[in-house]
Amino acid sequence: MEETIEKPGIFTRLANWMGRRPDEEPVDEAETTPSGNAPFRVHSMHRYVITVRRQIVSFQDAVAAADGLKRGEQQILNLTMAPPELREKVKDFMCGVNYTAEGTWEELGEHVFLLAPASAFVEVAPTSPRSDAVRN
């Protein structure tokens, strides 16, 4: 005796997915292994935004970086081309924004800074003895 099994439609799959138990992971039934046997799991990836600001030449550039940090985007600021008075003004402003956002502030190089939101984990590797010797 041959048994026919119907493939569930999109609404049935959505209803089953919405009604799954908390201990179950969602499975996309439409996607199977090449042999067609068992379904495989589809995991979504969270996108993370990093904005590199190569030249900060006006205070408006700093405001754009602050808005990005408030949206949860990591910012890399290069202040090497900025005049010294603008550089200090931008650093003070971004320090305040970063403090309010409870973010992370790291100096990557001379006048180059990394600002990360509180949700990001920033691991700073210890400097090697060779790089310490070069600085001295």
User: CB–CB of 82/56 below 8 Å?
Assistant: yes
Report CA-CA distances (Å) from 92 to 21, 67, 87, 133. Answer: 50, 15, 9, 30
pLDDT values of the chain reduced to their tens digit, one per residue, 136 residues: 566 666 667 666 666 665 544 444 554 444 445 555 555 555 565 566 777 778 888 899 999 999 999 988 899 899 998 999 999 999 999 999 999 989 999 999 999 999 998 888 888 888 777 655 555 4
CATH code of residue 71: 3.30.110.150
Residue range(s) defining the domain that contains residue 15: 9-44
Q: What is the pLDDT of residue 44?
A: 60
Q: Do 88 and 33 share a structural domain?
A: no
Q: Are residue 62 and residue 111 in the same domain, yes or no?
A: yes
> What pLDDT, on the 0 to 100 scale, is given for residue 124?
82
24 in helix, strand or coil?
A: coil
Give a yes or no: residue 127 inside a domain: no
Residues 60 and 40 in one domain: no
- Whole-model pTM above 0.85? no
Residue 80 lies in a domain: yes
pLDDT the model gives residue 29: 47
Same domain, 40 and 75: no
| 17 plus 64 within the same structural domain | no
Distance of alpha carbon 32 from alpha carbon 35, whole angstroms = 8
- CA 44, 45, 46, 49 dihedral sign is negative
Tokens of 112: 């180059």
| Residue whose structure tokens are 């439409």 | 30
Cα angle vertex 25, ends 19, 27, to 5°? 85
Instruction: Map tokens 């119907």 to a residue.
Output: 6
pLDDT value of position 106: 92
**Amino acid 132: pLDDT:** 56
In this prediction, residue 133 carries a pLDDT of 53
Write down the pLDDT at residue 21. 44
Structure confidence at residue 86 (pLDDT): 93
Do 23 and 70 fall into the same domain? no
Per-residue confidence (pLDDT) for residue 126, from 0 to 100: 81
Q: Which pLDDT belongs to residue 57? A: 85
- Tell me if 123 is assigned to some domain: no
Q: Tally the domains of the chain.
A: 2
Which segments within the chain are labelled E, that is strand? 50-53, 74-78, 104-109, 112-116
CA–CA separation, 13 vs 71, rounded Å?
34
